[in-house]
Structure 1
Amino acid sequence: MSDTPDSAVRQYIEQHRVAFLDDLVEWLRIPSVSAQPEHAADVRRSADWLAAKLRETGFPTVEVWTTPGAPAVFAEWPSQNPDAPTVLVYGHHDVQPAAPEDGWHSDPFEPRAEAGRLYARGAADDKGQVFFHTLGVRAHLASTGRSAPDVHLKLLVEGEEESGSPNFRSLIESARDHLAADTVIVSDTGMWSPTTPTVCTGMRGLAECEVELHGPDQDLHSGSFGGAVPNPATIAARIAGSLHDADERVAIPGFYDDVTPLTDAERALFAKLPFDEAAWLATAGSHATLGEAGYSTLERIWARPTAEVNGIGGGYQGPGGKTIIPASARLKLTFRLVAGQDPDAIEVAVSRWITNLIPDGIRFDIGFAPSTRPCLTPLDHPALQSVVRAMSRAFDGQQILFTREGGSGPAADLQDVLGAPVLFLGISVPSDGWHAPNEKVEVDLLLKGVETAAHLWSDLATHS
């Protein structure tokens, strides 16, 4: 093997592959299910295990941070260059619940290796993707001959992501000085497929509300009172039916005012992805696509804001008829937001719009849950280009394409609180089965993640 940086990284990874996987298997055996109180001690044990392994890796500062819920792990390894950029890597060490009776082919917390895959809860989401950074930084040091990374490297690995990160925002606000960074790398995401490596550039935000509607003080006879008093179930249906126009655009005034539009370059890159709409529909169990006119399916779920009715109810729901005007009704709505949109402004617009649709005689309450901000990194951002170059080296010069995530997550809190761009480095693929039975990770792709991380720190130091 020639003595180039790339070959040196690969040689180091190959030499340490078995020990790396053995360590990961040991961590995966810990059932760190944050959603189940009976596993609280296991979540703590998972944090302590990771902290010990990070110290063994070489991080001079490693701390387990307590929260009102599950603990997080913080680690820091300063560069010898005081002017080097600071990079914070985010991930989580808690996992989804799993039990053999859910359909697992083996014990979800007894990892099973088969045909180049490692099956276990957390193998991809997110222990495998957190852990590849330990071997990645060691391969980086071995290939560069350094005793410390080219960047000031920090890690934050939370323990409640699978429970909605209820204490995450307050944690990063209280630890803002410790976590200050020029760039945030989120390793809790994936790629398009094993043969189409991609980098995610953003996630949508989320606003959600529940509307309670109250009309008469009790259910009324529809023959005696129908057509003469307001019906809260009719008003709930009216709100739901008015949510979109004929082109499936959200009909709330001002909803699109601050949306960052898709660029022609982004649309062209999305179009390069080998998207099979028929297969996507089959996965969804849907029989047709429907969405905002003028946009492709991928553009709709990644880069356009949406409004959805999640639930609607009121009145009699039992068998047969019951001729009443119900006393109350309710409606649940969610809004996926994209770059440029402010959840607070959206909540004001939604409240105003709903209020204008409600007639006299209906008492109502609109309650909003905590919101999540969207995040987006422009394609020409220098740090994003560093991730692309590092991944391309790991994938032998293959072109790296771009995706976004249609869902929402804590990455936006990091961007909002720390004021740093959020970049995504993940190697998981859709078949890995996050949150599903028989979750797995492709071992070769996991090692590509190691290799990408090994190249990334020098590239960020050079181009930031």
Structure 2
Amino acid sequence: MSQTPDSAVRTYIEQHRAAFLDDLAAWLRIPSVSAQPDHAPDVRRSAEWLAAKLAETGFPTVEVWPTAGAPAVFAEWPSDDPDAPTVLVYGHHDVQPAAREDGWGSEPFEPVVRDGRLYARGAADDKGQVFFHTLGVRAHLAASGRTAPAVHLKMLIEGEEESGSPHFRELIESRADRLAADTVIVSDTGMWSEDTPTVCTGMRGLAECEIRLAGPDQDIHSGSFGGAVPNPATAAARLVAALHDEHARVAIPGFYDGVVELTDRERELFAELPFDEKQWLSTAQSHAAHGEAGYSTLERVWARPTAEVNGIGGGYQGPGSKTIIPSTAMVKLSFRLVAGQDPDHIEQAVRAWADRCVPDGIQLETVFGAATRPCLTPLDHPALRSVARAMSRAFGAPVRYTREGGSGPAADLQDVLGAPVLFLGVSVPSDGWHAPNEKIELDLLFKGVETSAYLWSDLAEHWRDAP
């Protein structure tokens, strides 16, 4: 009796499960910690290891791309259908620092399987989730009888994500012709829980700044001069107080220009998730929820722009009192941005707002760092529907939709390549990214393999479907 396509995929995966885990363990043993200069040779070794494994998988083009920092890996496997869509898979091969004395139950770079979980630094973030595509594409070929993927498949695996991707934008701009794609799949994320498979549809962007305020040329006596000259610490406090209105909305004029509002359907889908606010508050180690009026906690974190005070300082900070008017003060602010917001516009709006809020006699310097743009894929996009269908087939359950409240380099890919960004990840919150005892659930890891195996044919078949 011939197998169905799904059973053929599962059979192939099971037959190659042990070898796949052996290979992944070998990669996890390489301590590719990009933030520590002593590990620079290991990061390069990690890139070279992955490049060799992608060539062994079948990718006819595999290259290690140098940057001013750590290397990235590029691979390409054209479809035999010239009209097939081009898909770029993004991930990273560098990892966070880890040491046994941090609280690990085993050596962080010596992978170990316990109770159906693979423990090692990088198991979930992000080597495991990159690597499942290697077995996934092979299972896709075996089950379909193809000699090349149903899509033009590319991979870009960077080596500096855990260091803030300082050279990533430059890399993709310089290689944009090689990276050109119809859609991008980011496998550096997770899902809601083991029992609730989800697809992320967007990430917020980020802009951040430090506002430096200077008054008198030196600290001066508050009795002799207080009340008669401007105080930079008071000006800093007034800035912070003016940041939000009584409804916790950002009060900077023009801040909400262009914001893509949540649809009723998106709000319904968020509300369907099994969200336990008490548990969420426990994880946040907070005693109450708070935010913009008219929105739920998930809507605030995923789909609304925010302004946060990251630091405020000025004047005497030691024990006892020191009755001065300080000469300087500062405020550090960060802004999470949603689809439709332009970081350049936000910077201009913040500068103008700060200028208006500060009194005469206070010198103001506002310094912005590099910004990250938001990204969002509409629910009716055919590529998003393909990801959801592939995941649903693998998990045997309906797939729900989430967003990410944080920010990452995925938005750079969308911005430079002009392609929608989709997220395919199978990690769960308990996997402990960046923490001691990072792990990945093996059952979920192989569901990721299976999802990858189904995805390429589905994308090829439905790419041109009308929304």
Q: Same fold (TM over 0.5)?
A: yes
1:358-414 Cα deviation digits (max 9, x unpaired) = 111011100000000000000000000000000000012x11000100000000000
**CA–CA separation in structure 1 for the residues paired with 2:53 and 2:271:** 42
Q: How does 1:349-364 map to 2 (within 5 A)?
A: 349-364=349-364
Matching residue of 2:192: 192
Deviations 1:2-52 (A, max 9, x none): 610000000000000000001000000000000000000000000000000
Shift of 1:101: 1.1
Q: Which runs of 5+ in 2 are unaligned?
A: none
Match in the other structure for 1:292: 292
- What is the 5 A alignment of 1:146-295? 146-295=146-295
- Tell me the secondary structure at the aligned position of residue 313 of structure 2: strand
Name the residue aligned to 2:427: 428
2: CA distance, partners of 1:296 / 1:109? 40
Task: Report the equivalent of 1:403.
Answer: 402
Between the aligned partners of 2:287 and 2:81, the Cα distance in structure 1 is: 57
**Cα deviation code 1:281-308 (max 9, x no counterpart):** 0111100000000100000000000000
The Cα of 1:146 is off from its aligned counterpart by 0.4
Q: How far, CA to CA, are the matches of 1:184 and 1:279 in structure 2? A: 33
- Cα offsets for 1:152-201 (capped at 9, x unmatched): 00000000000000000000000000000001000000000000000000
2:151 maps to 1:121 = no
CA distance in 2, matches of 1:312, 1:384: 42
The separation in 1 between residues aligned to 2:250 and 2:210, in whole angstroms, is: 18
Q: Deviations over 1:337-359 (max 9, x none)?
A: 00000000011001000000011
TM-score when normalising by structure 1: 0.99
Whether 2:80 is the aligned partner of 1:80: answer yes
What CA distance in whole angstroms lies between the structure 2 residues aligned with 1:184 and 1:175?
15
Alignment of 1:344-383 (within 5 A): 344-383=344-383
Q: CA deviation at 1:138?
A: 0.1
Q: TM-score, normalised by structure 2?
A: 0.99
1:144 is displaced (CA, Å) by: 0.3
Q: Name the SS for the 2:67 alignment partner.
A: coil
The 3-state SS of whatever aligns with 1:336 is strand
The equivalent of 2:411 in structure 1 is: 412
SS at 2:25 equivalent: helix
Matched residues in 1 for 2:257 and 2:219: separation? 41
1:6-21 to structure 2, matched below 5 A, reads 6-21=6-21
Q: Take 2:171 and 2:376, find their aligned partners in 1: how far apart are those partners?
A: 23
Which deviations, in whole Å up to 9, do the C-alpha atoms of 1:233-261 show, x marking residues without a partner?
Answer: 00001001110000000001111121000
Q: How many residues align?
A: 463
Match of 1:449 in 2: 448
Q: What amino acid sits opposite 1:176 in the alignment?
A: A
1:269 is displaced (CA, Å) by 0.4
Q: Which residue of the partner structure matches residue 436 of structure 2?
A: 437
What is the CA–CA distance in structure 2 between the aligned matches of 1:250 and 1:363, rounded to whole Å?
Answer: 24
Identity of aligned residues (%): 79
Measure, in 2, the Cα distance between the counterparts of 1:244 and 1:105: 45
Structure 1 counterpart of 2:178, one-letter code = H
Moved over 6 A (4+): none
Aligned-pair CA distance for 1:115: 0.5
What is the DSSP-based 3-state SS (H/G/I as helix, E as strand, rest coil) of the residue aligned with 1:360?
coil
Aligned-partner Cα distance in 2 for 1:196–1:53: 32
Distance in 2 of aligned mates of 1:391 and 1:314: 52
Q: In the aligned structure 1, how far is the partner of 2:184 from the partner of 2:257?
A: 28
Mapped to 1, the partners of 2:38 and 2:370 lie a distance apart of 27
What is the alpha-carbon distance in structure 2 between the residues aligned to residue 364 and residue 261 of structure 1?
A: 34
